[in-house]
Chains A and B, each alone.
Chain A
Amino acid sequence: MSSVNVLIAVTELLGVIILLTAFEMLAQSFVRPMINTVALQSITLAVIMLLTGLSRHSYDLLLLAALTVAIRGIAIPEIMKKDVRKTGIWVYREVETRVPALVIVGLLLSIFGYVVYRELAGTLHIGSKGALPFILFLLGFLLIIAKKNALAQMTGYIVEENALLYAGISFSHMPLILEAGVFLDLLALVLAGVILAAEKDYGVLELEELVG
Chain B
Amino acid sequence: MLNLQIVNIVQVVVVLALSPLMAGILKKIEARVESRKGISIFQPYRDLAKFFKKELVIPKNANILFVIAPVVAFACYIILPMVLPIIYGNPCPYAPMVDFLGGAFIFGLAAFITTVATANTGSFYTSIGTTRAVTFGSFAEPTLIMVFFGVALITGTNNPFITNHVLAKNVHWILSPTHLLIVAAFFMLLLFDTGKIPIESEGLMEFGMIDEGKAMEYSGPLYALLKWGSYMKSFILMSVFLNVFAFPWGVAMDTSIQSIIFGTVTLILKMLGLIVAFVVVEETFAKLRLFKLIDYLTISFLLALLSVVSFFIFGGVPA
Chain B 278-319 interface 0/1 with A at a Cβ cutoff of 8 Å (1 = within): 000000000000000011001101110110011011110011
Q: Cβ of A20: which chain B residues have Cβ within 8 Å of it?
A: 303, 306
- Which stretch, B173-181, B193-201, B210-218, touches the partner chain A? B173-181
Whether, in the assembled complex, A1 has its beta carbon less than 8 Å from a beta carbon of chain B, the answer is yes
Whether, in the assembled complex, B46 has its beta carbon less than 8 Å from a beta carbon of chain A, the answer is no
CB contacts under 8 Å to B, within A143-167, are none
Known: A5-B318, A8-B318. A131 touches B298 (CB 8 A): no
Which of A8, A12, A16 counts the most B-chain CB atoms under 10 A from its CB?
A16
- Main SS at interface, chain B: helix
The residue from B298, B314, B318 contacting A99, defined by CB atoms under 8 A apart: B298
A128–B313 alpha-carbon span in the complex (Å):
7
Q: Is the CB of A9 within 8 A of B172?
A: yes
Q: Cβ of B180: which chain A residues have Cβ within 8 Å of it?
A: 13, 16
Whether, in the assembled complex, A23 has its beta carbon less than 8 Å from a beta carbon of chain B, the answer is yes
Chain B proximity of A14: nearest CB distance (Å):
9
Q: Cβ of B306: which chain A residues have Cβ within 8 Å of it?
A: 16, 19-20, 23, 107, 110
- Count A-B pairs with CB separation below 8 Å: 60
Q: Cβ of A111: which chain B residues have Cβ within 8 Å of it?
A: 309
Chain B 175-192 interface 0/1 with A at a Cβ cutoff of 8 Å (1 = within): 111001100000000000
Task: Please give me the residue from chain B that is nearest to A26 by CB atom.
Answer: B302
Chain B proximity of A103: nearest CB distance (Å):
5
Q: Is the CB of B172 within 8 A of A132?
A: no
Chain A 1-39 interface 0/1 with B at a Cβ cutoff of 8 Å (1 = within): 100011011101101100110010001000000000000
The residue from A5, A8, A114 contacting B312, defined by CB atoms under 8 A apart: A114
Task: Please give me the residue from chain B that is nearest to A14 by CB atom.
Answer: B177
Q: Is the CB of A103 within 8 A of B302?
A: yes
A114–B312 alpha-carbon span in the complex (Å):
9
Chain A proximity of B67: nearest CB distance (Å):
38
Which of A5, A19, A100 counts the most B-chain CB atoms under 10 A from its CB?
A100
A112–B312 alpha-carbon span in the complex (Å):
13
Q: Cβ of B299: which chain A residues have Cβ within 8 Å of it?
A: 27, 103
A131–B313 alpha-carbon span in the complex (Å):
6
Q: Is the CB of A104 within 8 A of B298?
A: yes
Task: Please give me the residue from chain A that is nearest to B174 by CB atom.
Answer: A9
Chain A proximity of B319: nearest CB distance (Å):
7
Chain A proximity of B314: nearest CB distance (Å):
5
Q: Cβ of A100: which chain B residues have Cβ within 8 Å of it?
A: 294-295, 298
Q: Is the CB of A107 within 8 A of B318?
A: no
Chain A interface bracket (under 10, 10 to 19, 20 to 34, 35 or more): 20 to 34
Task: Please give me the residue from chain A that is nearest to B307 by CB atom.
Answer: A16
Chain A 176-206 interface 0/1 with B at a Cβ cutoff of 8 Å (1 = within): 0000000000000000000000000000000
A43–B177 alpha-carbon span in the complex (Å):
19
Q: Cβ of A132: which chain B residues have Cβ within 8 Å of it?
A: 313
A70–B166 alpha-carbon span in the complex (Å):
43
The residue from B294, B298, B301, B314 contacting A12, defined by CB atoms under 8 A apart: B314
The residue from A13, A99, A107 contacting B177, defined by CB atoms under 8 A apart: A13
Q: Cβ of A104: which chain B residues have Cβ within 8 Å of it?
A: 298
Known: A99-B295, A107-B302, A111-B309. A5 touches B314 (CB 8 A): no
A111–B309 alpha-carbon span in the complex (Å):
7
Task: Please give me the residue from chain A that is nearest to B317 by CB atom.
Answer: A9
Chain B proximity of A25: nearest CB distance (Å):
13
A103–B306 alpha-carbon span in the complex (Å):
11
Q: Is the CB of A27 within 8 A of B314?
A: no
Q: Is the CB of A107 within 8 A of B305?
A: yes
CB contacts under 8 Å to B, within A111-157, are 111, 114, 128, 131-132
Q: Which 10 A-B pairs have the closest CB atoms?
A: A16-B177, A100-B298, A99-B295, A1-B172, A131-B313, A9-B175, A103-B298, A13-B177, A12-B314, A103-B302
9 additional contacts (CB under 8 A) given A12-B177, A23-B302: A9-B176, A16-B180, A16-B306, A16-B310, A103-B301, A107-B301, A107-B306, A110-B306, A128-B315
Interface residues of B (CB under 8 A from A): 171-172, 175-177, 180-181, 294-295, 298-299, 301-303, 305-306, 309-310, 312-315, 318-319
24 example contacts (A-B, Cβ-Cβ < 8 A) are as follows A5-B172, A5-B318, A6-B175, A9-B172, A10-B175, A12-B176, A12-B310, A13-B180, A16-B306, A16-B310, A20-B303, A20-B306, A99-B298, A103-B298, A103-B299, A103-B301, A103-B302, A106-B302, A107-B302, A107-B305, A110-B309, A128-B314, A128-B315, A132-B313
